[in-house]
Amino acid sequence: MAMTQHERRILDRYEIDTLGAPFKVTLLDCVTMHGVDSKTGENKINVPNLSGLIGAVVRARVSHPRKLNGKEIKFVRNALGLKANQVAKFLEMGPEHFSRCEAGTKVMALTSEKLFRLFAYLATYFADPQETLAKIIAGQAKLTSDLEMKANKPDEMARKFIEQFLMIKIQSVFDPTELHFEFRRMVPNDPTACGHQLDESDEWEEPPQPIAACG
Amino acid sequence: MPARPKRVHSLETVWIREFAKTYSPAEVGLTYSPQSLRDAGLDLIGVRNIFRRGHVTFANKLHGPGALWVIEGDNNEGERFCLTTIVITEQLAVDLQRVERVAMEVHAEEMNDGHDAA
């Protein structure tokens, strides 16, 4: 049934194909259908906390052991708003080589990929990853203070970070199944309260374990 | 003749940049038409990068709640877009109304400059 301009409803599942991710991302119980735009006749949706969502998607992907392909490297870089030559410099590789890795004509070495993943994971907590990376390259970064500013639970973040990256074994075998991540908003203290205020722990839940899409 | 520089609204530009950087607890966030993004060849990562690095080039208070802002910027892949939005700052709500790709004119002089600089 067609929606009117002012009708709103929360969707149980919404596959967010406009995120720009080269894998499937589904949002559960949080995307609001805003009805039809009166001018264009198109459906409009609302996504809460886009910045937090992008960070959660990046963390989920770089924590997954499957080797990053070129499109995924580019996605992670763009999601963090980084320039290709800046990342290449950080990874101590030529800009041409990094460009070929993103284009998929070269494979990124495992050690470089691990370093890229480590930085990407942490960078989701930086206010401005591009500025922080520039400071790192120039040897002027104060990472501890930057992290404290962004992470709600720095201890938990540090624990997850250490667990994931000390244990991770990047799979080098190509797997044709599409990756699929699901996210939902953490439940507020009283979700039924009208105009409820979410506390500072409010963020996107990372999936307990990534699942592969069927087919 | 070089294009006349567009007026940049500093306060609005700061606000939209912070909106793009901040982990917002608000349930409002960004409202948009998925089809208009697809049609323009822009994704949400690009939208966020335009908010984060772009400039508000037009701002006008609406009669109802919010204001109409036009934000112009780069999607981090060298493509420029012009986003027309309705922003309600008190609610941290941004409603994307229109997405337009900005055609880039590269003059011969600029090309030579870039070549020399490299």
Residue span of the structural domain in which A117 resides: 9-212
Q: Say which of B22, B30, B44 has its CB closest to residue A20.
A: B44
Is A146 or A48 the better-scoring residue by pLDDT? Answer: A48
As a whole number, mean pLDDT of residues B5-19 equals 86
Contact flag A55-B23 (C-beta cutoff 8 Å): yes
Is A206 or A128 the better-scoring residue by pLDDT? Answer: A128
β-strand B80-88 against B93-101: which pairing, if any? antiparallel
CA distance A174 to chain B (A): 26
What pLDDT sits at residue A170?
A: 87
What pLDDT sits at residue A157?
A: 75
Q: A66 - beta bridge partners?
A: A171
Give residue B63's Cα distance to chain centre. 22
The region, left, alpha or beta by phi > 0 then psi within -120 to 50, assigned to residue A142 is beta
Q: How confident is the model at residue A42 (pLDDT cuts 50, 70, 90)?
A: confident
CA distance A187 to chain B (A): 12
Does A213 have pLDDT greater than 60?
Answer: no
Is A207 or B21 the better-scoring residue by pLDDT? Answer: B21
Within an 8 Å CB–CB cutoff, is residue B39 touching chain A? no
Average pLDDT, chain A: 81
Q: How confident is the model at residue B54 (pLDDT cuts 50, 70, 90)?
A: very high
Query: How many domains is chain A built from?
Result: 1
Over residues A114-170, the pLDDT tens digits come to 999 999 998 988 888 998 899 888 887 776 666 655 666 677 777 777 777 777 888
Stretch among A92-106, B39-53, B98-112 having the lowest mean pLDDT = B98-112
What are the structural domains, with CATH classification, of chain B? 10-117 (3.30.2310)
Q: Say which of A39, A78, A152 has its CB closest to residue B49.
A: A78
Report if residue A2 sits inside a domain.
no
What pLDDT sits at residue A152?
A: 64
Q: Report the candidate in A88, A83, A107, A89 with the shortest Cα–Cα distance to residue A98.
A: A88
- Amino acid occupying residue B50: I
What pLDDT sits at residue A138?
A: 87
How distant, in Å, are the alpha carbons of A99, B26, B28, B56 from that of A108?
Answer: 10, 39, 39, 38
Q: Report the candidate in A11, A128, A129 with the shortest Cα–Cα distance to residue A62.
A: A129
Q: Burial-class residue A9 by CB neighbours within 10 Å (0-12, 13-18, 19+).
A: exposed
- Count how many residues are written for chain A: 215
What pLDDT sits at residue A191?
A: 46
- The pTM is what? 0.83
Report if residue A177 sits inside a domain.
yes
Q: Which ipTM score applies to this complex?
A: 0.82
Report if residue A1 sits inside a domain.
no
> For chains A and B, what is the number of CB pairs under 8 angstroms?
98
Stretch among A28-42, A48-62, A73-87 having the lowest mean pLDDT = A28-42
Residue with tokens 């301009």: A5
Could you tell me where the DSSP H helices lie in A39-194?
A: 50-63, 70-79, 84-90, 95-103, 110-123, 129-138, 143-150, 154-167
Stretch among A13-17, A68-72, B70-74, B110-114 having the lowest mean pLDDT = B110-114
Within an 8 Å CB–CB cutoff, is residue B25 touching chain A? yes
* A39: chain B residues, CB-CB within 8 Å: 97
Question: Residue A19 is encoded by which pair of tokens?
Answer: 């995120």
Within an 8 Å CB–CB cutoff, is residue B60 touching chain A? no
Is A3 or A32 the better-scoring residue by pLDDT? Answer: A32
